[in-house]
Amino acid sequence: MNQAGMKLPVYLDYSATTPVDPRVAAKMIPWLTEHFGNPASRSHVYGWEAEKAVEEAREEVAALVGADSKEIIWTSGATESNNLAIKGAAHFYAGTKGKHIITVSTEHKAVLDTVKELERQGFEATYLVPQENGLITIEQFKAALRPDTSVVSVMAVNNEIGVIQPLAELGEICRDKGVIFHVDAAQATGKMPIDLSTLKVDLMSFCAHKTYGPKGIGALYVRRKPRIRLEAQMHGGGHERGMRSGTLATHQIIGMGESFRLARVEMATENERIRMLRDKLLKGLLDIEETYVNGDIEQRVPHNLNVSFNFVEGESLIMAVKDIAVSSGSACTSASLEPSYVLRSLGRSDELAHSSIRFTLGRFTTEQEIDFTIKLLHDKLGKLRELSPLWEMYKEGVDLSTVQWAAH
Amino acid sequence: MFAPVYFDHNATTPLDARVLEGMLPYLAAHYGNASSRHEYGRAARRAIDEARQRVACAVGAHPTEVVFTSGGSEANNLFIKGAAACLTPGVVAISAIEHPCVREPAQQLSHDGWVVREIAVTEDGRVAGADFHAVLEERPALVSVMLANNETGAVQDIAALAARAKPTGAWFHTDAVQALGKLPLDFRAMNSAGVHALTLSAHKSGGPKGAGALVVDKRVELRPLIAGGGHERGLRSGTENVAAIVGFGLAAEFAANRLDERARHFVQLRAELEAGLAAQGAAIFSVAAGRLANTSYFAFPGIDGETLVGRLDRAGFAVAAGAACSAANPEPSHVLLAMGIASSLARGAVRVSLGADNTAAQIRDFLAALKTTILQLKGLTALTS
């Protein structure tokens, strides 16, 4: 295979983070150099120009998701946004709405750990377990609602399997019941249309670095009509209308604005190209025997493919495919050897969860890289399975679930 | 853009060109998520480890004591709220001149049963020994006193204060955001004296906005402010801002170098500035205290500070009327009021904060522009009164 011009390892981990688009970086740099003012400085042009640029970026973030720029609060990233939204709303509404929270067992740790923290503080939580396809059902959700449910947090797009939860329907129900509805959209921006002028979402978390912007910057959408209130989590100079204090990182904000502008302009064509590549990868990998796709393949962003390869050992698989940069389990937890809690929630066995690979494609993925990946997986799986006694037994027709393993 | 002379380095500083150079690869080829196990991720992790070493080294700490945050405000919030969450509510003592990002979190604790006790300062903006003694009698569980004040530049003898507080068993924190790059910092020595935590920010000393750190003694139990994923030893979750952290590391290293040389430069410039200010009739605040050498805070009786900085801006000099963070607040500086300065004079406060690139010629031009401006404003005042 001609690998000319292809950088190894091939990056197929766009859901962990994306490169900063060079156009975004170019726009950021002047705000690191000559335009270095503190946007909170009110007495000179260095501050004014920074403040103006920050407000323009806010408009761009709002424009991608059909919001008003006054509804956008800057944060340091989606993790902080999730913490601010969930703790901020839970604390603010505890006295009036109640102390019950509903979320999903496959949410990102930024949501799960936040909800756990609230449980420690005396809130109660229900964790919905999705169906085998990764999606929750409306009936299941309705059944979990209680009179004292105050906050619901459901992610738009799952970081591991890319499935899209039924936000519109959930939003209708929440609005109807007077429950605050938060959505973690870190993995959604630029990958699916989001229109907050029609979606009944009250709070939505965003970050730049999954959408070709810089790390260290995110935003929280806080609906104004009907008005949603929050208890601030970071106090100080009263920046961001008191909801989040701290000097605004101008260059990062400019980067987020530009990355969201590019997403708005280019999303439609870009996603078609990525879908074509993903489908090619899917077809190429399903040609391998005993390969299973994790998560619903239809109700899913085109960037994600999560596949389990049966009869190979997870760690050996990852070691064998070093020429591609992929993730097994989400980046934030992949340092641990525990099988993905997301796949476990879907009912996958430990073995299949362990031998899963998340391929996430993006703006700079090429067809050549996909061809390379397909061939690599075919070669390596062939070799790994040649060495696998389980594979041999499977090929001989032994039903492995009936085998009594000897302890030693 | 019309580029005024920048005299507002306590608000934020220009990025050091060498820092930018170090950051750029992390906005381009090295884009990995530091939690990823593949080479892109490992490269990011190595860069963060190296930056942690640099920051630790610059302030005399061990790398494992450095917790990266999104900035100084977050680090202050993390300490105040995070430590309080692990303690039985009691007295939290803060100096009366703290930055809002210490004052406000402390005020928040009052909802949870804490009593906020402000420590009085002298007319020079130094912690008043007698009141500090009285506060210690109240057995505070948390104490926070800033190392150098952002407005006046007044420097506290933190090691001595911490040593006095040590027998109470309180956790002692100092906001050192304004001190990095202006004063030598030795966390190990401070820690031996009784300081348990120190807040730093990158953008006040030639680094980028969006990165800061809490340097913290590991004996201090902290509840994280931001949960989810367990980054930074579980004390601060969220994908690391690699480029800014790399920039912070470099900025901290450069800031710790050539401190004396920079200080000499500031001392000379400020002496010339303040001689001129005094000759023009300005009252200079905290002048008898040990101050950051780059900071001069003054007022002309009867002249409104906001008006003066507006005129100075048009004359080509970027200075501040108060702290940038509370510049929208029309109230006179709480720092000056705590020092017992009359609010009429406090309303006139103007801060000049110098940077390494400022020159003696700029000071002379500034003094000339100031003289003209003051005369004009006095003329106006005379006409309207």
CB contact under 8 Å between A42 and B324, yes or no, is yes
**Do B209 and B323 lie in a common domain?**
no
**Do B293 and B239 lie in a common domain?**
no
DSSP state of B277: H
Q: Report pLDDT for A350.
A: 85
Minimal C-alpha gap between A20 and chain B (Å): 6
CB contact under 8 Å between A209 and B239, yes or no, is yes
Cα-based distances in Å from A232 to A223, B144, B265: 15, 21, 42
Helical (H) or strand (E) element with A344? helix A341-345
The arithmetic mean of pLDDT across residues B38-54, rounded, is 97
Single out the residue in B231, B257, B283 at which a domain terminates. Answer: B257
| Residue A168: CB atoms within 10 Å | 12
Q: What is the ipTM of this complex?
A: 0.94
Q: Compute the distance between CA of residue B229 and CA of residue A77 in angstroms, rounded to an integer.
A: 13
Single out the residue in B233, B257, B281 at which a domain terminates. Answer: B257
Single out the residue in B237, B257, B277 at which a domain terminates. Answer: B257
* B101 included as an active-site residue: no
Cα-based distances in Å from B266 to B226, B269, B354, B357: 39, 5, 7, 10
Name the residue with tokens 């049963």. Answer: B113
Q: What is the CATH number of the domain that holds B139?
A: 3.40.640.10
**Do B129 and B227 lie in a common domain?**
yes
SS3 A13: strand
Q: Compute the distance between CA of residue B20 and CA of residue B24 in angstroms, rounded to an integer.
A: 6
**Which residues span the domain enclosing B227?**
17-257
| Residue B313: CB atoms within 10 Å | 18
SS3 B140: coil
What share of chain A has pLDDT > 90, as a percent?
85
Which residue among A44, A117, A237 sits closest to B227, beta carbon to beta carbon?
Answer: A117
Q: Confidence class of residue A329 from pLDDT cuts 50, 70 and 90?
A: low
**Do B38 and B182 lie in a common domain?**
yes
**Do B218 and B351 lie in a common domain?**
no
**Do B161 and B241 lie in a common domain?**
yes
Q: Confidence class of residue A1 from pLDDT cuts 50, 70 and 90?
A: very low
> Is residue B55 predicted with pLDDT exceeding 70?
yes
Which of the residues B57, B86, B101, B325 is marked catalytic?
Answer: B325
**Do B247 and B324 lie in a common domain?**
no
Q: Is B329 exposed, middle or buried (0-12, 13-18, 19+ CB in 10 A)?
A: middle
Here the tokens at position B240 are 């690391």
Q: Compute the distance between CA of residue A385 and CA of residue A374 in angstroms, rounded to an integer.
A: 16
**Do B237 and B115 lie in a common domain?**
yes
**Do B293 and B316 lie in a common domain?**
yes
The set of residues, in sequence order, having a beta carbon less than 8 Å from that of A165 and lying 6+ positions away, is A104, A135, A136, A154, A155, A156, A157, A158
CB contact under 8 Å between A33 and B73, yes or no, is no
**Do B76 and B200 lie in a common domain?**
yes
Minimal C-alpha gap between B278 and chain A (Å): 23
Sheet containing strand B283-284, edge to edge, reads B283-284, B295-299, B350-353
> Is residue B78 predicted with pLDDT exceeding 90?
yes
**Do B84 and B194 lie in a common domain?**
yes
Q: What is the CATH number of the domain that holds B377?
A: 3.90.1150.10
Beta strand residue intervals within A201-342, DSSP E? 203-207, 218-222, 291-293, 304-309, 324-325
How many domains, chain B?
A: 2
Identity of the amino acid at A118: L
DSSP state of B15: P
> Is residue A333 predicted with pLDDT exceeding 60?
no
CB contact under 8 Å between B35 and A245, yes or no, is no
**Do B351 and B237 lie in a common domain?**
no
- pLDDT per residue as tens digits for the range B276-335: 999 999 999 999 999 999 999 999 999 999 999 999 999 999 999 965 444 455 689 999
Q: Compute the distance between CA of residue A271 and CA of residue A266 in angstroms, rounded to an integer.
A: 8
Q: Report pLDDT for B27.
A: 95
- The DSSP line for A172-230 is HHHHHHT-EEEEE-TTTTTTS---TTTS--SEEEEESTTTTS-TT-EEEEE-TTTT---
